[in-house]
Copies of this chain bind each other. A is one copy, B any other.
């Protein structure tokens, strides 16, 4: 790691996104998703399963008031297991004092408040802020006096809190609460929720840590790691960074905490049965209870009997939690893909802030594992619905894909953090691929329905009739009981600017090109130049450099960056990504009023350093050819198939354009521009084999549901079915000429139910 490359996301307040593409997406989130989500949190969406999220906070708030009033006379509810997802018998009549929903239902609020916060940075809205403040009041009122804040245990029995980190998501709730609180503080300057998050984190730090007497656990569902880093960055309090590091250091080490807590729960249950109460090793009380010798003996005997159960908890299940190995030893991305992405993001954060090279090396290995072996061409990850997880290398089924929207979001998180360590176009390319394809596919063009699972091939009949595809829906759903994807999508889209731009003292990186306005605060001193920034003498002052960005992305490769405001001394470096998909590019740079001929290029970024003045500009043209892509032949599903990519956008064929039975089509390499000569040169290099731009394939701008987009017209052949028995003697297939219409993958399933495929036969 080289510290001079380190960067942080640009403050969202410095970014105004106004381009047609991203503004539209952000407005959908602001005007459709966030209001809908608030109704859902309050169980007011007719026909949808209630969330019970605000119900739970209100119930816990009443209990806290009761606790305060009753004082020492307060009798907390004794723990009774409620189940991972508990629903009232009559959904309309929940017991007002009980917890309902998933154990992690609190995070519905946290994700909502985070997205709200982001929108408030670029679209102040006093009414929304008022609603948010009131919701924060409700949430903060639910906090236990020691800082603990998870309504499942507050309402079901605090005596058993933090006894099932593996599956009960308390630290996941802490993580999301922290992310939401930090965002809201950054957006509004209001710190009520931030303080609540700090208190919860402080309490967690009092329970978990390397010190003797503290528990050695870590989250079953990661996110606290990256969230605690954010809390450290917002508050400057190192305890939070240390707790994040502790969670990472503990993960997957022996003795395995998930076995230890399993054993503790088992002993507790044995004790419950025998009426002996707490047992040896029960971590819920730091003070060991006095007890008779016979109870101790029983405890030891029970502990000896436990190993039979340990065997049942085999190593395979730990991989699901990325807890199968210490994190610095991990090399293959495994397990639940969202958890994995969150963990790797936290690892990258901690590696950067602590200078941990071994941690960073693990991040790099895990990144390569994903990108070289486990990534869909749509930027999605998670090949199998079993555990919503990464499958084994090159197992990337199209129809049975899981490719959860949240997993693509988590991958973008990870990519942005790798960019923060080292700006390399490899990371930005994948971040862009995830954002423009799987993440956006998660939401309908009208912002009213969502995909949880993002297949690369859908045949509605198969989705309905094939139980192996039970997880795949051919149309987006309004909401989900486990409502992770829509709010997660809301928080990343509303904070898109934080993925487009990162900065350090003297450099502003453009990772993604989004039209709008962006301001960098530059530290200026005497004789300051970006080249010798840092410890130059004199009192540092700040200057503002405001840039106007115009771009046709993702539909063409033109970008123009114009300096519209600049302090005289606004000297800094602009680092401009040269996308990996661009076959060729050209830059016209005017800096300091003069045309600049040379610039440094490193890891796919063009670095232009200078003193910028109003009217300066950088004009970029990236060639945006259509690329016909094939997969590594180890991806068995895709052998003999091709997919089409143009710029950041992956394409697909839909029934609405091409009729049923998409599998009968094959794209025609000759028609596309692969001549017979090239065909006879199988060792032809990439460059020579790629078709000339426009040769054979037509690119047409169209409008769908008020959404302009480029569609592709691809020369193809369509098999003419000839009837006959189920199995017939081979004959060269009868085919007719056809033209396939391909639309951006993110725009599929907006015209009713129908077939879709990304990969087409060649």
Q: How far is the CA of A680 from the CA of B732 in the complex (A)?
A: 8
With beta carbons under 8 angstroms apart, the residue of B387, B466, B631, B664 that contacts A392 is B466
- Among listed A295-303, A510-518, A719-727, interface-contacting one: A719-727
- Is the CB of A554 closer than 8 A to any CB of chain B? no
- Contact (Cβ within 8 A) B732 A467: no
8 Å CB interface, A375-392 against B: 375, 377, 384, 386-387, 391-392
Contact A721 B384, beta carbon cutoff 8 Å? no
On chain B, the residues within 8 Å of A468 by CB distance are 384, 386, 400, 468
When the two chains form the complex, which single residue of B392, B629, B731 contacts A727, counting CB atoms closer than 8 Å?
B629
Query: Residue on B with the closest CB to A735?
Result: B682
Q: Which residues of B contact A643 (CB under 8 A)?
A: 727
CA distance A591 to B631 in the complex (A): 65
Q: How many angstroms between the C-alpha atoms of A88 and B571 in the bound complex?
A: 80
Q: Is A620 an interface residue (CB 8 A)?
A: no
- Residues A633 and B664 in contact, CB atoms below 8 Å apart: yes
CB < 8 Å: which of B631, B663, B729 contacts A627?
A: B729
- Interface locus among A16-24, A121-129, A350-358, A634-642: A634-642
Q: Which residues of B contact A686 (CB under 8 A)?
A: 724, 728-729, 731
Residues of B within 8 A of A387 (CB): 467
Cβ-defined partner of A682 (8 Å) among B459, B661, B679, B732: B732
Instruction: Report the separation of the CA atoms of residues A372 and B679 in the bound assembly, to the nearest whole angstrom.
Output: 38
What mask results when residues 661 to 692 of chain A are scored 1 for a CB within 8 Å of chain B, else 0?
A: 10110100100001000111111111001100
Q: How large, as a class, is the contact surface on chain A?
A: 35 or more
Contact between chains at A730 and B372 (CB < 8 Å): no
Tell me whether B721 and A684 are in contact (CB under 8 A). no
Min distance, Cβ A459 to any Cβ of chain B, angstroms: 8
Q: Does A108 contact B (CB under 8 A)?
A: no
- The contact string, 1 if C-beta is below 8 Å from chain B, for chain A 721-762, is 100111111111111000000000000000000000000011
Residues of B near A655 (CB, < 8 A) are none
Please measure, in the bound complex, the distance between the C-alpha atom of A726 and the C-alpha atom of B762, giving whole angstroms: 18
- Closest residue of B by beta carbon distance from A762: B730
Residue of B nearest to A666 (CB): B640
Please report which residues of chain A, range 680-718, place their CB below 8 angstroms from some CB of chain B when the two chains form the complex.
Answer: 680-686, 689-690
In the complex, what distance in Å separates the CA atom of A645 from the CA atom of B395? 30
Identical chains bound together, number = 2
- Measured CB to CB, the nearest residue on chain B to A464 is B392
A465 within 8 A of B: yes
Q: Contacts of A392 on B, CB cut-off 8 Å?
A: 461-462, 465-466
Contact yes or no, B732 A669, CB < 8 A: yes
Contact A731 to B682, CB < 8 A, known contacts A371-B726, A392-B461, A395-B462: yes
Q: Contact between A732 and B639 (Cβ–Cβ < 8 Å)?
A: no
A730-B384 contact given A461-B392, A465-B391, A468-B468, CB 8 Å threshold = no
| A134–B762 CA distance with the chains assembled, in angstroms | 65
Minimal beta-carbon separation of A460 from chain B (angstroms): 12
Closest chain B residue to A400, Cβ basis: B468
Check if B642 sits within 8 Å of A640, measured CB to CB. Answer: no
Q: With A735-B682, A761-B639 known to touch, is A669 a contact of B465 (CB < 8 Å)?
A: no
Structural contact, A732 and B628, CB atoms closer than 8 A: no
A632 adjacent to chain B (CB < 8 Å): yes
A483 within 8 A of B: no
A689 to B725, CA, bound (A): 16
Complex Cα–Cα for A718 and B384 (A) = 29
Return the CB mask of A595-630 against B: 1 if under 8 Å, else 0. 000000000000000000000000000000001111
- 9 A-B pairs with CB atoms under 8 Å apart are A386-B468, A630-B730, A631-B727, A633-B663, A639-B663, A643-B727, A674-B730, A678-B732, A689-B731
Can you name 5 extra interface pairs (CB under 8 A) apart from A392-B465, A629-B727, A639-B719? A630-B729, A631-B726, A632-B728, A635-B726, A682-B734
